[in-house]
Amino acid sequence: MNLEFPSELNDLKQDLLRFEPALQHFASRLGLELAKHEVDHVAVRCHQNATAERWKAGLLQIAQPFSEAMINGRPVCLFKLQQPLLLAGCEVTVVELPWPGEKRYRHEGWEHVEIVLRGEPETLGMRAMALLADEALAQPGLSFKTSAPKGENERLPNPTLAVTDGQTTIKFHPWRLEEIVASEQA
């Protein structure tokens, strides 16, 4: 762990000890080598607005905010880290912090990474599934979900395929978050 975490993020610092090996194990189950892909960002989940506010205060000490938007009915802040977070062999520079929504997550802390798969948005799901090992697709306990989160002024289609084992999630989408945010200002 190379990133200095302020005290407001102590729980996230500790949770990396759980998340990173879980992420590596999950990627291995799927037949994915994360370091060979463009990992766009890492996301956290929390249950209380107070936790989201504390994490925001902590992230503001080590990152620059570059977007705060309503996505699917809740605020989501995006931060560009001043120095990358080394995570499962990848340098991750963006953290996504959504405020709690209607869905309750099992765990407060690090929840997923998103991989950028460049190409036509219409073929994202097919391209993502082609990356996964055939035997991974038959494993019990895995679920797949497609969605298309959208901010108010987004101009880029942003389909997403999420693969999860209920604890750790890896998502795929066609654009970096910074590209999506830039499209809002165009």
Amino acid 181: pLDDT: 86
Give domain limits for the chain: 7-185
Q: What is the end-to-end Cα distance of the chain in Å, rounded?
A: 36
Q: Is 2 exposed, middle or buried (0-12, 13-18, 19+ CB in 10 A)?
A: exposed
- Please check the confidence at residue 12 and state whether its pLDDT lies above 80: yes
pLDDT (mean) for 152-177: 85
Q: What is the average pLDDT score of the chain?
A: 90
Place of tokens 């405020």: 99
Q: Where are the beta strands (DSSP E) in the chain?
A: 38-45, 63-71, 74-87, 90-98, 109-116, 143-147, 160-164, 169-173
* β 143-147/160-164 pair status: antiparallel
Residue 130 predicted with pLDDT over 80: yes
And the tokens for 16?
């990396």
Arithmetic mean of pLDDT, 1-9? 84
Q: Assess contact for 41 and 172: CB atoms under 8 A.
A: no
Looking at residue 151, its pLDDT comes to 56
Percent of residues, the chain, with pLDDT higher than 70: 94
**Domain 7-185 coded CATH 3.40.50.300:** no
